[in-house]
Structure formats: structure tokens, C-alpha cells
């Protein structure tokens, strides 16, 4: 069996693990209603995307 020549340094371990570290989702502010929503989706509270009405939302 092939064995590693030297052990992985703490720095290299951290560099490897940084690739699959959890990052908080980037929330954007809706220009219409100001609610915090993730990018590239229609706003769930007012139904607009790129300042255009794209989905119908029931206003309670
Ligand atoms: Zn909105």
C-alpha cells in the first residue's frame, strides 16, 4: 500500500477544508418592498423580479 511521504500540515488541512466550509447565503434587499431575499429569485413577499411583476402574491 502506498503511504504518504509526509503528513499534511495544519495549513494544508485548513486550506482543503476551507473549500467546503459553510458560508451564509448572500441576501439582497428587494428594491420594491425592502425585504431581505436571496438573489436571482422573484421576491416571495411582493412577487417582483428586476422591478417587474412576475408572480401573483395574495395581499393579506
Ligand atoms: Zn419584494
* Per-residue pLDDT at 3: 93
Exposed / middle / buried, residue 57 (Cβ in 10 Å: 0-12, 13-18, 19+): middle
* Per-residue pLDDT at 53: 87
Ligand 1 centroid from CA 34, angstroms? 6
Q: How many domains does the chain have?
A: 1
Q: Is residue 34 part of a domain?
A: yes
Ligand 1 centroid from CA 47, angstroms? 6
Q: Is residue 54 part of a domain?
A: yes
Q: Is residue 18 part of a domain?
A: no
Domain that holds residue 49: 27-60
Ligand 1 centroid from CA 17, angstroms? 36
Q: Is residue 10 part of a domain?
A: no
Say how far apart CA 28 and CA 46 lie, in whole Å.
Answer: 14
Question: What tens digit of pLDDT does each residue of 1-59 get?
Answer: 899 999 999 999 999 999 889 988 889 999 888 899 998 999 998 889 988 888 887 76
Q: Report whether pLDDT(60) > 70.
A: no
Q: Is residue 6 part of a domain?
A: no
Amino acid at each position: 500500500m502506498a503511504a504518504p511521504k509526509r503528513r499534511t500540515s495544519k495549513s494544508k488541512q485548513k486550506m482543503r477544508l476551507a473549500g467546503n466550509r459553510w458560508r451564509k447565503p448572500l441576501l439582497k434587499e428587494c428594491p420594491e418592498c425592502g425585504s431581505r431575499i436571496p438573489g436571482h429569485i422573484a421576491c416571495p413577499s411582493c412577487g417582483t423580479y428586476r422591478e417587474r411583476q412576475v408572480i401573483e402574491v395574495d395581499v393579506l
